Amino acid sequence: MSPLDISDQEFALFQRLIYKLAGIHLSEAKKVLLVGRLGKRLKALQLASFGEYYRLLASGQHPDELQTMVDLLTTNETYFFREPKHFEFLRDEILLKYRDTVPFRIWSAASSTGEEAYTLAMLLAEYLPTNDWRVFGSDISTQVLAKARRGHYPLERNEGIPPAFLKKYCLKGVRSQAGTFLIAAALRARVEFQQINLTQPIDPAIGEFQAIFLRNVMIYFDLATKTKVIHHLLPRLMPGGHLFIGHSETLSGIATPLVMVRPTIYRKP
Of these residues, 37, 41, 149, 157, which one is catalytic? 37
Is 99 an active-site residue?
no
Among the ranges 48-52, 98-102, 237-241, which has the highest mean pLDDT value?
Answer: 237-241
CA atoms of 35 and 265, how far apart (whole Å)? 36
Domain edge (last residue) among 16, 49, 74? 74
Residue 134 and residue 36 share a domain: no
pLDDT digits (tens, 9 = 90+) for 91-146: 999 998 888 778 999 999 999 999 999 999 999 999 999 999 999 999 999 989 99
Residues 251-256, mean pLDDT to the nearest whole number: 93
Q: Are residues 137 and 47 in the same domain?
A: no
Q: Is the pLDDT of residue 3 over 60?
A: no
pLDDT band at 1 (very low <50, low <70, confident <90, very high): very low
Q: Which of 71, 134, 139, 267 is catalytic?
A: 139
* 161 and 188 part of one domain: yes
Query: Which structural domain, as residue segments, surrounds residue 133?
Result: 84-267
Residue 240: pLDDT band by 50, 70, 90 thresholds?
very high
**117: CATH:** 3.40.50.150
Q: What is the 3-state secondary structure (H, E, C) of the chain?
A: CCCCCCCHHHHHHHHHHHHHHHCCCCCHHHHHHHHHHHHHHHHHHCCCCHHHHHHHHHCCCCHHHHHHHHHHHHCCCCCCCCCHHHHHHHHHHHHHHHCCCCCEEEEECCCCCCHHHHHHHHHHHHHCCCCCEEEEEEECCHHHHHHHHHCEEEHHHHCCCCHHHHHHHEEECCHHHCCEEEECHHHHCCEEEEECCCCCCCCHHHCCEEEEEECCCHHHCCHHHHHHHHHHHHHHEEEEEEEEECCCCCCCCCCCCCEEEECCEEECC
CATH number at residue 34: 1.10.155.10
Residue 23 lies in a domain: yes
**Active site annotation includes 64:** no
Residue 3 lies in a domain: no
**Is 90 exceeded by the pLDDT of residue 172?**
yes
Both 208 and 150 in one domain: the answer is yes
Instruction: Tell me which of 52, 74, 96 is where a domain ends.
Output: 74
49 domain residue, yes or no: yes
Q: Kindly report, residue by residue over 81-105, the tens digit of the pLDDT.
A: 999 999 999 999 999 888 877 899 9
